[in-house]
Amino acid sequence: MPAKTMDELVSLCKRRGFIFQGSEIYGGMQGAYDYGPLGIELKNNLKAAWWRSMVYERDDVEGLDAAIIQNKHVYKYSGHEDTFTDPMVDCHECKSRMRADHMKDIKVCDNCGSADVTEPRDFNLMFKTNVGPMVNEESYTYLRPETAQGIFTNFKNVVDSTSRALPFGIAQIGKSFRNEITPRNFIFRVREFEQMELEFFCKPGEDEKWHEFWVETRKQWWLDQGLAEENIQFEYVTGDDLAHYSKSTVDILYKFPHGFEELEGVANRTDYDLGSHTKAQDEFGLSAKVKKNEHSTAKLAVRDLEANKWEVPFCIEPSAGLDRGLLAVMTEAYTEEELENGSTRTVLKFKPHLAPIKVAILPLKKNKPEIVALAKELKNKLQKLGLGRILYENTGNVGKGYRRHDEVGTPICVTVDFDSIEKEGAPVTVRDRDTMEQVVVPAADLPAYVINYFINQD
């Protein structure tokens, strides 16, 4: 059963080194978190799974890593300067600041019940910064609020350098920054986060087909990461809730401890983005309403050989929050089991490819040189397989080691004992996290056993 409360996850995350409060020794900072030794491994594994699925396993997607700080005109023509806002309300009584669209009643403070609150007013979510030594109205730009714009501004560079033809996509994983009014629910809504975004470009008229394709493809990917289908829903965004650039959007929702909320959005952005950033906009008969661009130096269009004309592609965008994804994976993996002896154990049942530690090597005696030497030798051999982190843990208490590795999601533990150094074949004991079953494997066969385990499990 997935985690029922956020407190369960927060406690485990700090205790076992997944996630810490940012700047904790100075009292912390709202909406800022640091990933610890196990958290960064889980995060990297989830990123690697996304990249493998989006780029390596497809023949129609290229990768990109665009700069976080970009020319301020990017955000002028993308619409972020004018529209990237949330309605904000301040309470004069308790000095709380709230998002109006999250309040029960915009005339009454959610925190203290006072009616002495301000009228809702727009608050731009972008972090403004200055570039260079001079601080003035000419030197400002923003920390990017999304990774997508770097893809759109590099569209022509990618096409020219790869000779891609429609349909094709550009994938990117990177940091984004939003000055959220009310960060909340642990790492679900924060001010600094990572996104995993694909911009998939297609011909006008084929956009609805591709939109449906990517909605189903992205849902299946999350199922492949271990999420249960009954904990996933679709929400079809309509009316005023649609973003200004969107023709249609489907949000993939997950049942977090605080309820169903957006895990990933899949939007049909039409030709809005490339149309906004292209020069000579009047030449292309754009379907989207865009601001006249007086600064772009490039035509972001492709040649339609059949129609013998240049056109601006439509864009389908599957956009997932990495931090939210990690929270969903942890929520789903969290399991409390009652054992036959009446005790309970906490297990993170990650898919093996996501587990922060792939294999733990546990010597039975930490002060027995022969056991320690063989354990270290096996650790080094397994590490060279390239599966991920292999941990040598020399505590000398195998039972506690098993429980600890259950709690952090390590799929298999290998114990090196006296039989390993005394018997022919140097047998070691391999324990499965989920079944707790143990098998004996000759040390020479351990690398093949481990590889076969991970191939069959995923």
27 is in an annotated binding site: no
The number of angstroms, rounded, from the C-alpha of 120 to the middle of its chain's C-alpha atoms is 31
124 is in an annotated binding site: no
63 is in an annotated binding site: no
96 is in an annotated binding site: no
- 424 sits in the region (left: phi over 0; alpha: psi -120 to 50; else beta) called beta
- Alpha-carbon distance of 399 to 393, in angstroms, equals 12
262 is in an annotated binding site: yes
The encoded tokens of residue 51 equal 């990249």
193 is in an annotated binding site: yes
313 is in an annotated binding site: no
Closest C-alpha to 88, from 78, 102, 96, 98: 98
326 is in an annotated binding site: no
327 is in an annotated binding site: no
317 is in an annotated binding site: yes
110 is in an annotated binding site: no
User: Quick check: 66 and 147 in contact, CB under 8 A?
Assistant: yes
194 is in an annotated binding site: yes
Phi, psi of 350 (to 5 degrees): -65, 150
321 is in an annotated binding site: yes
- Alpha-carbon distance of 147 to 194, in angstroms, equals 9
The letter for the amino acid at 205 is G
- Alpha-carbon distance of 142 to 144, in angstroms, equals 6
Closest C-alpha to 343, from 261, 420, 251, 436: 436
61 is in an annotated binding site: no
- 245 by DSSP, 3-state: which? coil
The letter for the amino acid at 300 is L
263 is in an annotated binding site: yes
184 is in an annotated binding site: no
- List 201's β-bridge partners, or say none: 168, 315
212 is in an annotated binding site: no
Angle in degrees, CA 432, 434, 439, rounded to 5: 20
Environment class of residue 81 by beta-carbon count within 10 Å: exposed (0-12), middle (13-18) or buried (19+)? middle
Angle in degrees, CA 156, 165, 215, rounded to 5: 95
- 86 by DSSP, 3-state: which? strand
320 is in an annotated binding site: yes
- Alpha-carbon distance of 278 to 159, in angstroms, equals 14
User: Which residues make Cβ contacts (< 8 Å) with residue 36, sequence separation at least 6?
Assistant: 13, 17, 18, 19, 20
322 is in an annotated binding site: yes
195 is in an annotated binding site: yes
37 is in an annotated binding site: no
- Alpha helix stretches (DSSP H) within 225-279: 272-277
Distances, alpha carbon 202 to alpha carbons 18, 38, 103, 277, 299, in Å: 40, 39, 40, 17, 17
Cα Rg of the chain, angstroms: 26
218 is in an annotated binding site: no
* Secondary structure (DSSP) of 369-392: HHHHHHHHHHHHHHHTTTSSEEEE
323 is in an annotated binding site: yes
Annotated binding site for ATP: 178-180, 188-193, 262-263, 321-324
Annotated binding site: 99, 146, 178-180, 188-197, 262-263, 317-324
Annotated binding site for substrate: 99, 146, 193-197, 317-321
